[in-house]
Copies of this chain bind each other. A is one copy, B any other.
Amino acid sequence: MTKRPTIRDVAALAGVSVATVSRVLSGDYPVAGATRTRVQRAVRELDYVVNAHARALSGTTSKVVALVVREVVSPFYARIAAGVEEQATEAHRLCLVCTTHGDPDRELEVIKLMREQQADAVILVGGVVENADYRERMYRYAQGLEDAGTRLVLCGRPSLGPDFPAISVEYDNAGGAFAATSQLLSGGHRRIAMLAGEPGLTTSDERIDGYRRAMAAFGAPIDPALIRHGWMSHEEGRRHVRELLAGRTAFTAIFAANDQMAAGALMELRAAGLRCPEDVSIIGYDDSPFAQDLWPALNSVHVPLDELGRTAVRLALAKSTGAPSRQQVMLGTHVVIRNSVRPATR
């Protein structure tokens, strides 16, 4: 491994000064055509590439966008990540990905790392449990990042208020839940089971909220026994239905807070000899890719995940163009109609 060439090597070979080399490299500076050609040849000859760290150190931005998610293997996060990555690439930024596994300590550590990297933006993705010190913690993060010249973006997670020093990009979570529940209700369903996440998890809580509002709007009574909490997984979806069935709690439809749970519910229903949508209607949330591959294809609330990611990056990088560092935008959601819902017969 020979030592990698530096800008001085290029300068020497091209017979110019390092400043000149730097100029032709960055492109935005008048340099004589002949000189430029000479430098470019030298660059190619030496197979030279700039040292990003040296460049970042001497002033210019680091050209890095950081994405902080709970898990990498999750269609939900993955689609946001894809949006972030695309937009970052478009803006000539590199994309750092970190996971927290929902651990606040890990989150803290990750944010610190991002400050060290002087990332242009840190995008925090997905729902959280808003416990006691969450707000305060976020506030400290925002502070520290701002000092490092880094924009903080909350993506798919409720804004902490207009005064909070961060950008927030949300989607109409409760609205989607309202629409989904309404679809069931207008089909005549009244006993609608709601499969939700852990209490306190923002994503889930907002979905429950939409469910409640729709029920109220249609004058349908809310039976607490129909609202089920747990880990938002396929397995848990099965468990909820199993217990509902065992407890002889009547229901003609299910609204699941995500598609995994809906798929689990579907499977357990089938195992119990119940058909969907003939006996029970189901509607999920997130419009995961596999929703249309199920049988019956699953109605679900579509969330513009990649748009969420793209918007997060766009807003964060608008810094240069003088956009405010604290703002909130909300993207719409809508129900995708497939084959898992049918009017109530009982």
Q: Which residues of B contact A343 (CB under 8 A)?
A: none
Q: Which residues of B contact A21 (CB under 8 A)?
A: none
Residues of A within 8 A of B (CB): 1-2, 4, 47, 49-57, 62, 71-75, 78-79, 81-82, 85-86, 89, 94-99, 112-113, 115-118, 143-144, 146-149, 234, 260, 263-264, 266-267, 270, 289-290, 292-295
A81 near B89 (CB under 8 angstroms)?
no
A49 near B112 (CB under 8 angstroms)?
yes
Query: Once bound together, how far apart are the Cα atoms of A216 and B256, in whole Å?
Result: 48
B146 near A1 (CB under 8 angstroms)?
yes
B56 near A53 (CB under 8 angstroms)?
yes
Given A47-B147, A49-B112, A89-B99: A72 and B82 interface contact (C-beta under 8 Å) = yes
Query: Once bound together, how far apart are the Cα atoms of A53 and B55, in whole Å?
Result: 9
B97 near A49 (CB under 8 angstroms)?
no
Given A94-B96, A98-B95, A116-B52: A148 and B263 interface contact (C-beta under 8 Å) = no
Question: Binding site of A, secondary structure by majority: helix, strand, loop or mixed?
Answer: helix
Query: Once bound together, how far apart are the Cα atoms of A220 and B260, in whole Å?
Result: 40
Copies of this chain, complex-wide, total 2
Q: Which residues of B contact A74 (CB under 8 A)?
A: 78
Contact among B50, B53, B266, B290 with A53 in the assembled complex (CB-CB below 8 Å)? B53
Q: Which residues of B contact A117 (CB under 8 A)?
A: 52-53, 94
Smallest CB gap from A109: residue in B: B89
Most buried by B among A49, A263, A266, A292: A49
Contact among B53, B82, B94, B294 with A73 in the assembled complex (CB-CB below 8 Å)? B82
Q: Which residues of B contact A78 (CB under 8 A)?
A: 72-74, 78
Contact among B2, B52, B95 with A118 in the assembled complex (CB-CB below 8 Å)? B52
Instruction: Add 15 more A-B contacts to A73-B82, A293-B294 (CB < 8 A).
Output: A4-B149, A49-B116, A51-B57, A53-B57, A55-B116, A72-B82, A73-B79, A82-B99, A85-B97, A85-B99, A86-B99, A89-B98, A94-B117, A234-B293, A263-B293
Q: Which residues of B contact A1 (CB under 8 A)?
A: 146-147, 149
B4 near A148 (CB under 8 angstroms)?
yes
Given A49-B112, A97-B97, A112-B49: A293 and B270 interface contact (C-beta under 8 Å) = no
